[in-house]
Structure 1
Amino acid sequence: MFDSWTGLGRVLLVAPLAYVALVAILRVSGKRTLTKLNAFDLVVTVALGSTLATVLLSKSVALAEGVLAMALLVTFQFVITWLAVRVPWVNTLIKSEPTLLLHNGTFLSQALRSQRVTQDEVLSALRSSGVSNLSDVVAVVLETDGSMSVLKGQDFKIDPQTLSNVDRYHARTGAERRHD
């Protein structure tokens, strides 16, 4: 049940460093790594599963150390999400925003490259959404969970609020960029 205070101290030191490293790696790796999970749910799920397996299978890790590690992971998750909801710059720092990949029937090649998405993948998402003609598509958005949302509309009309939180830099015209 308890090996030593040194072991607990080691977990208190190693767990925050490992958690920060894992979150940083996931954040740097981008949205495609996360497919259908947000980064923090994925971190907690994987880390808790790994910690539990280590506690259960490794005689060198005491139960108290494993429980402490799991409590720390859950606490970090709570603190980060609590801060993200209340402090705008924390939310901006830890969460990516959706990215526009296709706008008014035109592929945004810079956005596709930066998000590591191919035109074929976008076309696949269009087919999955029942789209047979690019002229029916107002936008394709790569969401923060790695999924693609397809917005259809006639004459490229859509409520601007639908795209209000989407990175639209790539969709601006040359004239708009010159005025920045």
Structure 2
Amino acid sequence: MENVLFAGWESLGRTLVIGVLAYCALVIFLRASGKRTLSKLNAFDWVVTVALGSTLASVLLTKNVAFTDGALAFALLIGLQLAVTWISVRARWFRRFITGEPAMLLHRGTFLPDAMRRARITKDEVRAAVRSTGVLALSDVEAVVLETDGSLSVVNRSAATGPNSLEGVQGDAEHN
């Protein structure tokens, strides 16, 4: 039976050397690609972040994954992220496909049931988001919006600055 507590000095040495090299490579790739690569502006960004972490773990701990394979995987993931964001900035239909659009779930204290059903969000989840901002009454809320990153934004009535303050948000009261 193989010893699960200590696999030998060679294994530790490989993990140390590959760990340092993979970490440095990842940092260099991330610095070269810009801050957007690790942003969590939408679900796609989050998936890329998780995939980079998973790739780093595989390179570190899987003996049959060479450092160059891992570095290529980092470059591929980051390159795809750059390509997708580049296209997203230039093509609205692609941006909508990749990121979706925000959805208003509550408007001026009134739940929007159709939007909530499409988003698979419950009234209790909306109420929890409102409470987390310190607001006690739904009537004090201008809107609750499910953002493209999956977070819930709460806009207080006092913060709303007119009829166009929520411009661009799908699922407003007139459409539901």
Q: TM-score, normalised by structure 1?
A: 0.67
* 1:74 Cα deviation from its structure 2 partner: 0.6
1:129 alignment partner in structure 2: 133
Counterpart amino acid of residue 38 in structure 1: N
Which whole-Å CA distance do the structure 2 matches of 1:39 and 1:108 have between them? 23
Taking the aligned partners of 1:149 and 1:39, their CA distance within structure 2 comes to: 16
TM superposition shift of 1:57: 1.4
Question: How many pairs were matched up?
Answer: 136
Question: Which residue matches 1:166?
Answer: 169
Distance 1:173 1:71, change over 3 A: closer
Residue aligned with 1:64, SS: helix
- CA 91–133 in structure 1, closer or farther in 2 if over 3 Å, else same: same
Q: State the secondary structure of the residue aligned to 1:160.
A: coil
**Map of 1:83 onto structure 2:** 87
CA deviations over 1:48-104 (Å, ceiling 9, x no partner): 111121122112222221111111111000111111111222112111111111112
For 2:47, which of 26, 39, 43 is the aligned residue?
A: 43
CA RMSD after TM alignment: 2.1
Q: Greater relative contact order: 1 or 2 (C-alpha under 8 angstroms, separation 6 or more)? A: 1
Q: Which runs of 5+ in 2 are unaligned?
A: 1-39
Contact 2:43 2:148 in 1 (8 A): no
Q: Distance in 1 between matches of 2:93 and 2:175?
A: 28
Aligned partner of 2:142 in structure 1 is 138
| Amino acid across the alignment from 2:132 | S
Using the TM superposition, give the Cα deviation of residue 40 of structure 1 relative to its aligned residue in structure 2, in angstroms: 3.1
Letter in 2 for 1:103: H
Contact 1:139 1:150 in 2 (8 A): yes
Larger-Rg structure: 2
- How far apart are 1:158 and its partner, in Å? 4.7
Distance in structure 2 (CA, Å) of the matches to 1:37 and 1:56: 28
The corresponding residue for 1:54 is 58
1:104 to 86, 104, 108: 108
TM-score (norm 2): 0.68
Identity of aligned pairs, percent? 56
Give the drift of 1:167: 0.8
The Cα offsets for residues 90-140 of structure 1, whole Å up to 9 and x where unpaired, read as: 112111111111112211111111111111111112222222222222211
CA drift at 1:142: 1.2
- The structure that is helix-richer by fraction is 1
Name the CA shift for 1:92/1:173 in 2 (closer, same or farther; >3 Å). closer
